[in-house]
Structure 1
Amino acid sequence: MSSIADNIDTVRRRIERAAQACGRDPGGIALLAVSKTFPPEAVRQAHRAGQRAFGESYVQEAVAKLAALEDLRGDSEWHFIGPLQSNKARLVAMHFDWVHSIDRLKIAQRLSDHRPAGMADLQLCIQVNIDAQPTKSGVAPGEALALATSIQGLPRVRLRGLMCIPAPQQDPARQREVFARLATLLQDLNRAGMDLDTLSMGMSDDLEAAVAAGASIVRVGTAIFGARDYSS
């Protein structure tokens, strides 16, 4: 059985090959290790292997995990990537460095209100429902500019870019086409006056397509930590 360190090395090599295949610098693509449902020791193993950015989706679990990993806090970066309810925004604002799943202004406002003044600005991405899935969170592409414009006026947060979670696709060409739509939307927002630099897209099964379409952050969990057990 491969170790977490081996898995991280394998994923990093996949990113490097995918970047080289489309003429990109691999250094411009960050690996976010999605540690949700995995124990603090798994994060420690990843950290010992050189991984520094971690993604969580469940607020209570994440806060408890961060407390258990307090000694790593100064040498790690924490990203909230799951759906966020307004009543959990205070905890996320106090504990995380990034939030990828902004889908309405109310959440961004709550995060802005609760971000401690002594902390660096909270980095935000708008989640876009890029392929109109009826059960997925995220704004419609046509609503992204209005939301981005509103967020840019908030204190203690900084809007960085867009995130998507498309429906699973087996065809790499179809994967790339969907991710390319998010990349085009980012370009459209920048032409409209935004200053965005982040595309959070791609997971264990489709990171190559995401890299080819311009991803700057890929969110990888299963390929690093193994299959998740949601029974608890």
Structure 2
Amino acid sequence: MDQPATPLEDIRTRIAKASALAGREPDATELIAISKTQPAERIESLITEGQRVFGENRVQEAQAKWPALLEMGPRIRLHLVGQLQSNKADDAVALFDCIHSLDRPSLVTGLAKAMDKAGRQVPCFVQVNIGQEEQKGGCPIAEVPTLLAQAREADIPVVGLMCVPPAGVEAAPYFALLAKLAADHDLPRLSMGMSDDFETAVMLGATHVRIGSALFGSRS
């Protein structure tokens, strides 16, 4: 009798199927396992299973638990997917391999200084407030061109756009809008799609999906 698929295997299969439906290569979308609030042993289990890319929301939490975890494999990469305070830019540049939450001019300044000081260029996504929600972080849509110009002038390697669509509504129009914005600005990568909507995101061009609860279960 076949063993039931693990959550990681199931998600990888679903990504591959969504990619095939959209005529994309099965490896065109990278799975980021969102490990915020998860204990080290649960993360170790995923690493043992072969997952190599993880995401954290807070710099301090990542600093506390990831130095030891990173020693489990040479290809493990860590992404910052939560909001970043400018005064944490030095720490973020030192620890993370990618930052998904560049959203304002003051953070452009902070990250540029941190990268120059560290001699390390960290790829960044500009986070867009795609639903124009007052309570959410992200650059307003109308200000994206200006922020991109500022980041490029500061030699920050912006590789794509990131969004979190409004909750409780169909995500596809927001993903399509983010894809159009990225294409308009010659940005190749799209960080979009989470546990409830990642298949839609994959079909609309996501290069990175951020999966937490579907991998780890609901957070307490």
Is the shorter-chain TM-score for this pair beyond 0.5, marking a shared fold? yes
- Segments of 4+ moved more than 6 angstroms: none
Distance 1:73 1:144 in 2: 37
Distance 1:222 1:114 in 2: 32
Distance 1:118 1:69 in 2: 24
What SS is found at the alignment partner of 2:84? coil
1:78 corresponding residue in structure 2:
78
Note the C-alpha offset of 1:165: 0.4
What SS is found at the alignment partner of 1:199? strand
The one-letter code of the counterpart of 1:21 is L
Note the C-alpha offset of 1:118: 4.8
1:193 corresponding residue in structure 2:
none
Distance 2:118 2:84 in 1: 21
Note the C-alpha offset of 1:99: 0.5
Distance 2:86 2:188 in 1: 26
Distance 1:107 1:184 in 2: 24
2:132 corresponding residue in structure 1:
132
Paired residues of 2:32 and 2:54 also in contact (CA < 8 A): yes
Q: Which of 167, 175, 178 is the equivalent residue of 1:179?
A: 175
Deviates more, 1:214-223 or 1:44-53: 44-53
1:114 corresponding residue in structure 2:
114
The one-letter code of the counterpart of 2:158 is L
Which residues of 2 match residues 48-127 of structure 1 at below 5 A? 48-72=48-72, 74-115=74-115, 117-119=118-120, 121-127=121-127
Query: Structure 2 length normalisation: TM-score?
Result: 0.92
Note the C-alpha offset of 1:139: 0.9
Note the C-alpha offset of 1:137: 0.4
1:158 corresponding residue in structure 2:
157
Q: Which of 197, 205, 208 is the equivalent residue of 1:217?
A: 208
Number of residue equivalences: 215
Distance 2:53 2:70 in 1: 14
Paired residues of 2:70 and 2:76 also in contact (CA < 8 A): no
Distance 2:93 2:219 in 1: 26
Distance 1:159 1:76 in 2: 21
Note the C-alpha offset of 1:73: 6.2
Kindly, what percent of the aligned residue pairs are identical?
Answer: 40
1:146 corresponding residue in structure 2:
146
Q: Deviations over 1:84-106 (max 9, x none)?
A: 11111111111001110111122
Q: Deviations over 1:193-228 (max 9, x none)?
A: xxx211000000000111111100000000011111
2:217 corresponding residue in structure 1:
226
Query: Structure 1 length normalisation: TM-score?
Result: 0.88
Note the C-alpha offset of 1:122: 0.2
What SS is found at the alignment partner of 2:33? strand
Q: 1:70 to 1:208 in 2, by over 3 A?
A: closer
Paired residues of 2:52 and 2:75 also in contact (CA < 8 A): yes
Q: Deviations over 1:119-174 (max 9, x none)?
A: 4x20100000111112110011111111111111224x31101000011235xxx3
The one-letter code of the counterpart of 1:37 is T
Distance 1:99 1:68 in 2: 21
| CA RMSD of superposed structures (Å) | 1.5
